[in-house]
Amino acid sequence: MSNFPRTVWLVARREFSALLTNPLFFVLSGVFFLLAAWIFVVTLYQFAQGAEGMTVNVTASVVRPTFFVVHFFLLVQVPLLTMRGFAEDRSSGVLDLLQTTPMTDWALLLGKFFGTVAAMLIYLLLTLLFPLVTSFLGTVDWAVIVGSAIALLLSSAAYVAFGLFCSSLTESQVIAAVISYVGLFLLVLTDIVIEDLPQAWLRDMVRHFSVNEHLTAILDGLLAPMDVMYFVGLTAIFLFLTARWLEAARWRA
């Protein structure tokens, strides 16, 4: 048990290095930053021109909408970063080899999780350039900025946990990515789909499972415990399911 933190650290470092040496990571991060920068510049231009619907608050009119759109860019990128997590190891036989060692499934899982989340932090650091630029143009509400950064971090962690779960289900990276996309977009679009539900009480109940319901509140700078626990709980659930699936695979082997 004393080797558990060290094992997690070693796996996380290996996963982080593998992502940073993968050309796909640089392509994805480059596309992510260019698209996010384009959204930021367009929104800032509209604010400067006094477009309809814009307020005098530069944070609410420019920074917050940019972060909200950035969230959807992360949603697209996470499955591509997590699809190789376990699928690649399973197809190459490395996972079977690792499961014959004293390394526990939790150590392997948490190492991959923290390594991938660490790589995602690079994406989040890039987004901080936007409020920094905005701060030179006007007064920025840093409480909203911090809330937005926390929202992106929490949602990214939850999406990584879900992506790793999908990757553990199959040997195919493509199938893992497709399952991740379907599942994540269902979580995000829940509040749109439930509008067709006839019962109001059912709509209110299901709305609590929507990512947008909790994400929007944190983006406003309101760090309510319920919204934070939603993403923490979502992360914990999918990490637990992945660990159980790996345990079942170990027994089947």
Per-domain residue ranges of the chain: 4-252
- The pLDDT value recorded for residue 47 is 77
- The pLDDT value recorded for residue 197 is 59
- Only one residue has tokens 């789909």, namely 193
Handedness of CA 178, 184, 188, 192 (dihedral sign): positive
Token code pair at residue 211: 């990512």
The distance in angstroms from the start CA to the end CA of the chain is 24
Q: Does the reported pTM lie above 0.85?
A: yes
CB 90 within 8 A of CB 172: no
- 3-state SS, 123-159, equals HHHHHCHHHHHHHCCCCCCHHHHHHHHHHHHHHHHHH
Note the Cα 113 to chain centre separation in Å. Answer: 11
Token code pair at residue 10: 């070693």
- The per-residue DSSP string of the chain comes to -TTHHHHHHHHHHHHHHHHHT-HHHHHHHHHHHHHHHHHHHHHHHHHHTT-TT--S-HIIIIIHHHHHHHHHHHHHHHHHHHTTTTHHHHHHTHHHHHTTSS--HHHHHHHHHHHHHHHHHHHHHHHTHHHHHHHTTS---HHHHHHHHHHHHHHHHHHHHHHHHHHHT-S-HHHHHHHHHHHHHHHHTHHHHGGG-S-HHHHHHHHTT-HHHHHHHHHTT---HHHHHHHHHHHHHHHHHHHHHHHHHHHH-
- CA-to-CA distance for 124 and 71, rounded, in angstroms? 10
Per-residue pLDDT 10s for the chain (253 aa) are: 458 888 999 999 999 998 988 888 889 888 888 988 898 888 888 877 765 555 557 777 777 788 888 888 888 889 999 998 898 888 887 877 777 777 888 999 999 999 999 998 988 888 888 888 877 776 777 777 888 888 888 999 999 999 999 999 998 999 999 999 999 888 877 766 666 656 665 666 666 667 777 787 777 767 778 888 989 999 999 999 999 998 887 776 5
CB 165 within 8 A of CB 242: yes
